[in-house]
Amino acid sequence: MLGPMTSSTTRSPLRRLTARGRDEAHRVASPLELFFDLCFVVAIAQAGVGLVHAVAEGHAGEGILNYAMLFFAIWWAWMNFTWFASAYDNDDALYRVVTLIQIAGVLVLAAGVSRAFEDHEFLAVWLGYVIMRLALIAQWLRVARSTQGAERTMALRYVFGVLLCQVGWLGLLVLPEGGRAWVFLVMAVLEMCVPPFAERDHPTSWHPHHIAERYGLFTIIVLGETIAAATVAVKTGIDEHDALGELLPIAAGGLLIIFAAWWIYFVVPIHGHLRSNKQAFLWGYGHYLVFAPAAAIGAGLEVAVEQAVGKAHISTLAASAAVTLPTSLYLLTVWLLHSRYFKVGIAQQLVLPVTALLVICCTFLGDWAVLAAGIVAALAVVTGTTLTARTVARVARVARERGGSVRAG
């Protein structure tokens, strides 16, 4: 005999798509969102592979431009869904199906990454992006149908804004290759203008703790993919070239960099800082310069490995820069976005900016550049932790002394 049905089994498979509460308790990432993130990392991995090949062949400028464009498409679609889901996830059957269509879109995009890098052919990338964005338009149309007033107007603004941008992205297909960088620049700016325009009269009810968790989980997944890519590169180098001695410094330095990147990102509880829409937009948009460099660190480690075993047609300096430059950008961006809000005093504030500068200086240390950069990043963690502990101890001591003087009085 069947037991009593749970509340989830009694709910209708189709429900109104209305806003969730910003103060909702125990708001955490759903299994669908985690699956969504994992599928997006497939596309990020493909973009990293393209970047590795371009840099290793001596075409760093062209490779970085293609990487920046492709990563923007991946990140922007991920970010839009993340904030939408934080406000409107009703987890009904239609919501799940449309989300799975978005996942299908990113897989189509991933399939076209190699042709975009090698042949400058963006048709599959454009098609995958359009699939993702049309799926999001469908979600906003559901919101418009389920709401009224200012909220409905906001949803319709999203619909028309996103739709018009998809027309603009056709420029990647029809304009000459030399104009694609300008198309990307203009369309990226227009895309980022859509959310502030749509929400100027009615902000969405995103959940600060949920948003912070979603970004944190995606950071972990990207760093994990970076470790996987670097590990495969080192393994291949050892198996094919018997170059353990040359690759050990790169492997050790890479691990220290990635471990430090994880530590530095998660050392502060950022959800308490996400209160206004202005803060949220700056923080959310700024993560393009967190996720893209984090993934590029893995690509840089692969380039360093290929250069060490003689497969890359670039100098040691260029291979070292492929690791140190994205590492420095990651450190600076994490500091700007949220670490600096939790630092007390000049010494704590200077730890990450100085570390970023020292990591760049490590570029010129030849074969030991990656290991040196890893040691510098690890020392930054030790220094920051020590300074924070001293500050906490000093505050506690002052509090005890004040408490003692009050009791004595």
Q: What percent of the chain has pLDDT over 70?
A: 92
pLDDT exceeds cutoff 70 at 407 = no
Residue 331 banded pLDDT, cuts 50, 70, 90: very high
pLDDT value at position 77? Answer: 92
pLDDT exceeds cutoff 70 at 208 = yes
Cα radius of gyration rounded to whole Å, the chain: 23
Residue 406 banded pLDDT, cuts 50, 70, 90: very low
pLDDT exceeds cutoff 70 at 7 = no
pLDDT value at position 399? Answer: 60
Q: What is the mean pLDDT of the chain?
A: 87
pLDDT value at position 23? Answer: 80
pLDDT value at position 5? Answer: 35
| 107 against 270, higher pLDDT | 107
Residue 72 banded pLDDT, cuts 50, 70, 90: very high
Residue 392 banded pLDDT, cuts 50, 70, 90: low
pTM greater than the 0.85 cutoff? yes
For range 9-29, the mean pLDDT: 77
Q: What percent of the chain has pLDDT over 90?
A: 58
Angle of helix 208-241 versus helix 60-88 axis, rounded to 10: 150
Domains (range + CATH), the chain? 29-204 (no CATH), 209-402 (1.20.1410)
**pLDDT digits 0-9 by tens, 219-262:** 999 999 899 888 888 888 888 777 788 889 999 999 999 999 99
For range 104-126, the mean pLDDT: 90
**pLDDT digits 0-9 by tens, 358-371:** 999 999 999 899 99
